[in-house]
A and B are shown apart, each in its own frame.
Chain A
């Protein structure tokens, strides 16, 4: 039976529904990219025309978070704030949900969407609504988030990684997403760099700025886009906060403007973006006045970067002498690296997370070595030695001097069973989840690499 609407038209109409607002600037075609303007075809011409510029990429990068054909999972609990409170010393309530899948509520999903936490390669589009597996590392992360809110305001700075070549699909980006969700539920401010590659591959404009410590390069358009993301994701939180200091800005700004409005100002105008970014961080790193309730209150901040290996080497940008610029000489990556290394303090608590990316891995040997070293020291093993005939990247080494490393292994069989049961209850995996089936898929997924598990169970068609 022929449908009355062709597939391409259907896609296009869906796109226009999905994207009501277009980002001010985007290097990657964002999830919210509006449908490209239609070309005026020849009158009466019904022949196939090539898709407009950017149309295919927008389609490729589209984030679909729902599948109406999937079954509604009965009794799926939500990921809520009360699961993140201290249960016993050293653990949070979330610990009891290990190996279970928890759904994300609409508000969180909106924030995560605005942060670009979802990736098109993840299988969100196969289920009725977004839900994530609580694995041992998630519970551990929740515990560290709880520590950051305690009296010590202990700030964890951590790199999530896997051994190069084998950690693809092991859930590093989803760990960041879970951190975002938890931070959002705890009313933290979340700043997320979705792809470090976008900052370093010379696809966005840059300009030099002279500082007392040397020349750095700011990326105004990217900053504006980042501010837009921050404003949208943290709308509720930022609208409750006000500007507290006098900043030197190119435009006059109302003294008690809400931070939400302030950030939006920067998002609208790339020329203002950098000064506003700096002012915003001054505001966020001002210590709260804990004595009085009426005094200045600033939330903890979660700062994350995905694909951090791209920012751990020379960027594709060139300076005026056409020498490659080190990624850490770009203002935004440098800002993140200062937070990661602990050079910039977060007095109100928070967390800095970075995740490497294995499907588009940059050759960052210094970072690999540093992470292997940190990991060995954490496990009381003999740390590896650096090859003395290879130059070490001093900037990268300094950035990773004092961070934690979390190497994501595969799922345990209990966790694998939990997620497979969720697949089955969603109607995407049409087999009985037995012990044998779980261990079979666990082996085929290379000892429980979750991306491969998903591929072997719900994506594979035989």
Chain B
């Protein structure tokens, strides 16, 4: 009991011996209590823009703190706190904003350079929005990215002979790593026996077709056309490329076809025949395209969905 009274008496004596001004300072220097985990996520500051001035963080040598010059104000700012490198640091998508501003500046800079004729610019597969978002780690909006893409496309139109290096580098950043448009199909060659080999596909069938100059005979999996295709329509489909170009009596067809059904197989052969025929006579491409045997039909059977009987068919409606 006595000890507590004594202790309180000492404390009072000590505190009364301090000056009030000093006491305030002491209170100010007391560290505040804080939690182990910060309430807000810790963010790394933007990289500090070091200047060549070795004394950049020092007080100004003149000691005149009330100077109005802008330069001094900047210096002061840099001294008293860390300034982010990018002015868009405080936007939601600083990297995107920076990229966009940079591309715009490039565009403004080079907008007077001659352009390629429409349709002749190199085809480029640009990064997708998802890729760009992942890369920048920012919630870039679709519209914003579309605007950026249009800028990129405009830069891509600059004449290739005059394309500045910095534009080239900038474009390179936004190109996909694999450029499918650079792929070139291996040209079909006619072997020493006069055969052209091509592969055609349709639905789930695939046909390997050999075409050789001849008198219009056709063998499919070792069987004749009539034997293999009972339907007249399928027979016509199989040799349609030759029929449409009036070459039916000039070539023999030999084909190995696998997978799928009758129609798919017949139309797979059609495409194969057309490709192999192009190897013999490349000039037929236009008429074959008109005959509709150049483009692969990519449609496949639609998958079945849960709750449906087929891809789209709903079960019959039953009252209760």
Contacts and interface: CB of A to CB of B under 8 A. Distances in A.
- In this complex, the member of B215, B223, B226 whose beta carbon has the largest number of chain A beta carbons within 10 angstroms is B226
Interface in B266-296: none
Nearest to B242: A443
**Which 5 interchain pairs have the tightest Cβ spacing?**
A446-B226, A439-B249, A446-B224, A443-B216, A166-B227
B249 A435 contact: yes
B interface majority secondary structure = mixed
Contacts of A452: 226
B138 interface: no
A26 to B, nearest CB: 31
Contacts of B216: 439-440, 442-443, 447
A94 interface: no
B232 A443 contact: no
Nearest to A444: B235
A445 B243 CA distance: 14
Interface residues of A, number: 20
Given A444-B235, A447-B217, A166 B248 contact: no
B212 interface: no
A283 to B, nearest CB: 45
A48 interface: no
B213 interface: no
Given A446-B235, A447-B218, 4 more contacts: A166-B224, A436-B248, A443-B225, A446-B225
A165 interface: yes
Interface string B190-228: 000000000000000000000000011110000111110
A460 B232 contact: yes
B246 interface: yes
A447 B227 CA distance: 11
Interface residues of B, number: 17
B236 interface: yes
A361 to B, nearest CB: 13
A165 B223 CA distance: 9
Contact of B249 (A166, A168, A443, A456): A443
A447 B224 contact: yes
Contacts of A83: none
A449 interface: yes
B224 A444 contact: no
Contacts of B218: 443, 446-447
Nearest to A455: B232
A442 B246 CA distance: 14
Contacts of B239: 443-444
Contact of B227 (A165, A435, A444): A165
Nearest to A410: B224
Contacts of B227: 165-166, 446
A452 B249 CA distance: 18
Contacts of A445: 226
A435 B232 CA distance: 21
A436 B215 CA distance: 11
Interface in A420-462: 435-436, 439-440, 442-447, 449, 452, 455-456, 460
A440 B249 CA distance: 7
A444 B236 contact: yes
Interface string B227-240: 10000100110010
Nearest to B226: A446
Given A439-B215, A439-B216, A444 B249 contact: no
A442 B227 CA distance: 14
Nearest to A460: B232
Contacts of A443: 216-218, 225, 239, 248-249
B269 to A, nearest CB: 13
15 contacts: A166-B223, A166-B226, A436-B248, A439-B248, A440-B243, A440-B249, A442-B249, A443-B216, A443-B217, A443-B249, A444-B232, A445-B226, A446-B227, A446-B235, A449-B224
- In this complex, the member of A443, A444, A460 whose beta carbon has the largest number of chain B beta carbons within 10 angstroms is A443
Contacts of A166: 223-224, 226-227
